[in-house]
Structure 1
Amino acid sequence: MKKLLFFLVFGMLWVSSLKAQQTQYMVFEFVKVENEQLFDYIEFKDLMEKVYRQALSDKRIKGWDFWSLQSGGDRSDFQYIMVTYYDDPVKMMNGLDEQSMMEYTKIAYPHLNSLQVSKLFQESLSMRDMPMRLYMREIAHTNDNFQMKPGVLASFDLMKAKEGNFEAYEEAESTTFKPIHQKFVEQGLMGHWSLLRTALPLGSEAKSTHLTMNVYKDYMQFFNAQSYEDMNQTEAQRLAVNEGLNSRDQKWVYLATLENVVR
């Protein structure tokens, strides 16, 4: 009996540990570049892809995306979104310091000397501004095997749960909206959906508390999903959807195209 209890407890701890290891953490960096420096920055982000591949090989990150904004509430302030994926919250908060980035650059570009690498980074820092950075934890996602690749389309929906409705909003996303998105995935109307909770910044002045990421393989799939209407939805389901919508404010929606990806 004691052995059975031991294995039961061990199994529960193992499952809990495995689930924690599978949790995904993501840093969203909204990047602003002056118009006269856009061409130089496009060259720089191609260089950064190789650098982040070195960080992936070193197990410092789980992945990296570079998105070009097509539209959004603050479109004039941002042109790009960089997303870095981590499997650990401490790794996410520590990020990749400048020294590590330069070391990975040396590996990716062995023909560059230390002085050239340092100059490259100083030039890149001077041509960009990151007026908004979000540290996030994924708390729900669809069951799919969607593969990220250049040309993929996504909408990043910044949400702010209304005061006193934080848990109600997350419950609505998980129990009402997730099944809807899962159905979209199974019907070929969407590639992937996930719900993320903001870790930082926090407080009443924060612009958002959550973010939903809606991914489509191309514009055709995106527009088909927008025009789809579920005529079989019950009255109870419609009420649940409306309650979920009323539990949060949709602050901004950013539509973006994936240009570079590291996995």
Structure 2
Amino acid sequence: MKKIVLFLIFGLLMATGVRAQQAQYMVFDFIKVENDQIFDYIEFKDLMEKVYRQALNDNKIKGWDFWALQSGADQSAFQYIMITYYNDPVNMMNGLDESTMMDYTKIAYPHLNDAQVANLFQNALAIKDTPMRLYMKQIVSTDDNFQMKPGVLASFDLMKANEGMFDQYEQAEELVFRPIHQKRIEQGMMGHWSFLRTALPLGSEAKSTHLTMNMYKDYMQFFNAQAYEDLDQTEEEQKAVSAGLNSRDQKWVYLAILENIVR
């Protein structure tokens, strides 16, 4: 009996360790480009893909995504969302400094000399503005094998927990909404869902406290999911959903298509 108890404890510790290793930290850069520089920016994002691939090879990041905004609260504020994935909060906050980015640019473009690399990099950075940046930690996600590739569709839902209901809202996402999304995935109406907490900025004046990422393989799956209504929900489940919705304010929803990816 003692051996069984020890085995169970060891199993729980191992599971906890696996969950800790799977923790994801992400930086969301919301990027604005002037209309007359759109074509230049296409070159920029291709440059960034090569640079971040070098960073991935060097274990500086876990991944990188570049999304083109399709709809949102104010598309004039920005047109793109860039996401960089990290293993831990320290690496997330440190990010990649300009010197490191330059070094990776040299590796990606070995045929260019130092002056040419510097000019390429500085010109690329000069055509963009980043009006909003969010530092996030993933709290929970669905179990799935969704394949991230260009053309994938996602909605980024920025939420703000109502005052005094922070914990209640997080519990609702994990215990009420996650199972709903998991069911949709199993029914082929969705690809992936994850729930993230904002690490920075903090405070009562922050525009959002959380974010959910809802991913779909294409527009057909997306619209099928929007039309879906779970008629099998019990009255108790409906009350739980309603309470969860009332614990937060849905600030903005941004729909975007994945254009570039590094994994």
TM-score by length of 1: 0.95
How far is the alpha carbon of 1:141 from its aligned partner?
0.3
- 1:81-230 paired onto structure 2 within 5 Å: 81-230=81-230
CA distance in 2, matches of 1:175, 1:27: 25
CA distance in 2, matches of 1:163, 1:4: 45
Q: Which amino acid aligns with 1:183?
A: K
TM-score by length of 2: 0.95
Identity fraction in percent: 74
Q: Secondary structure at the match of 1:45?
A: helix
CA distance in 2, matches of 1:122, 1:204: 36
8 Å contact kept, 1:25–1:138: yes
How far is the alpha carbon of 1:122 from its aligned partner?
1.4
How far is the alpha carbon of 1:155 from its aligned partner?
0.2
8 Å contact kept, 1:156–1:211: yes
How far is the alpha carbon of 1:74 from its aligned partner?
2.2
CA distance in 1, matches of 2:61, 2:17: 19
How far is the alpha carbon of 1:88 from its aligned partner?
1.1
Equivalences, count:
263
CA distance in 2, matches of 1:169, 1:29: 25
8 Å contact kept, 1:162–1:249: yes
Q: Which residue of 1 aligns with 2:259?
A: 259
- The C-alpha deviation readout for 1:193-246, integer Å capped at 9, x for no partner, is 000000001011111000000000000000000011111111111111111000
Q: Which amino acid aligns with 2:121?
A: F
Where does structure 2 lack aligned partners over 5 or more consecutive residues? none
Q: Which amino acid aligns with 2:217?
A: K
8 Å contact kept, 1:64–1:85: yes
How far is the alpha carbon of 1:124 from its aligned partner?
1.8
Q: Which residue of 1 aligns with 2:51?
A: 51
CA distance in 1, matches of 2:105, 2:120: 10
CA RMSD of aligned residues (A): 1.7
CA distance in 2, matches of 1:145, 1:160: 29
Where does structure 1 lack aligned partners over 5 or more consecutive residues? none
CA distance in 2, matches of 1:136, 1:240: 26
